[in-house]
Amino acid sequence: MIEPTEELMKIAIEAAVTSAKNGDYGHGAIVVRDGEVIATGYETLKSANDPVNGHAEVDAIRKACQKLQQPYLQGCILYSTAEPCPMCMSAAVWSKIDTVAYAITRDDMIAEMERLKQSSGGKFSWRQIAIPAEYIVEHGEPKVSLVPGFMREEGLKLFALTGSSS
């Protein structure tokens, strides 16, 4: 397992702020190898009208593979401001990322989405597949180390940036 650092998670958080400023959800991700940021991923789901490649984690993984000119990212850590969805976690496994550190958990996101649904009179909808990152890791190969809740309090603040997004 590669130990995450607060300094690097702050870069992923900055990417999430940029994503939100661009009209997307406040999610960000970076891929790091040997302490160096290889790629930064931004959430572009809404601005690019792309529910697949618009996820910050997929964006960061794709950019890192392109930059390194290789399909695998052994020796790298993925920092994400949120627990990766099943698609993004699978991409981390398939790219052979060693470690995934994330700030807010799926349970944090579910609680926030319920709050938004209540405050919007039921108009807010959230698309999700109820498979936690841990399940993907347990059933995937190669094994990826997870560091959940890393800088969680800072990650929770990102909800304020996207509270009106749907």
The residues carrying an active-site annotation are: 57
**Cα distance between residue 27 and residue 158, in whole Å:** 8
| Sign of the torsion formed by the C-alpha atoms of 154, 109, 114 and 138 | negative
How are beta strands 76-82 and 36-42 bridged, if at all?
A: unpaired
Q: Name 124's Cβ contacts closer than 8 Å, sequence gap at least 6.
A: 113, 116, 117, 166
Residues 6+ apart with CB under 8 A from 127: 51
